[in-house]
Structure 1
Amino acid sequence: MDTTLVFGASLKPNRYSNLAIHRLVGHGIKTEAFGLKSGIIGGVQVKTKIEDFQNIHTITLYLNPYNQKGYYDAIIGLRPRRVIFNPGTENPEFQNHLESKGIEAQVACTLVLLAIGQY
């Protein structure tokens, strides 16, 4: 089963990353989470070390472009097949860099993709 990594997970229930974890789990998608603070969201352990992840198919980003810069190499190092740039995370520089490495960069909303069955 393909695994999705929610990158920039927040323990705050009103954040879209938090809602995305709940929705992904609700759709039966194997979900992992990376954030600055450890905790549990919808039964998913939020981890704070990137090296804790492997075999990731999709990364769904919830970090603004400025905060993404420090994670470029780590994200590419996870060798995902696609990275979803949710609203507010669009980053043409990183998108082009990912595509040059053979990783699909998709500008979309994870919550919408799930709702319309296009995830």
Structure 2
Amino acid sequence: MGAPLRGTSFGRKWRKAREAVAMPKEFRFYDLRHTGNTLAADTGAKLKDLMVRAGQSPERAQLIYQHSTKEHQRRLADDIDATVRLQRVPGDRGRPSPAGAGHMFVPAPPASGRTARAR
């Protein structure tokens, strides 16, 4: 591992690398960090994971990388639904499934097949 680059040396090397891959002139080195942490957050990284990846300790700084989109909200809802469905055991009346997380309470569907709202 060599000596750290001075700011001016780094700038020249960054410009050369950016031009080599046809990145726009406005694309800053910082944008790589932002993109990487945003992708990590979008794929489910927890706050602590982002803090370690970025080398930053303040939680507030990590909120910059966490963008909420309709697509991400839909994926979250689908994942929650799938988790709940896996933990349900028909006729078990709310007791956790042996295969499910023992700390969760997921009620079974009403015996009549109607929802509480339909009553």
Normalising by the residue count of structure 2, what TM-score does the alignment of the two structures yield? 0.22
Bigger Cα Rg: 2
Which structure dedicates a bigger proportion of its chain to strand? 1
Which structure dedicates a bigger proportion of its chain to helix? 2
Normalising by the residue count of structure 1, what TM-score does the alignment of the two structures yield? 0.22
Higher-RCO chain (CA-CA 8 Å, sequence separation at least 6): 1
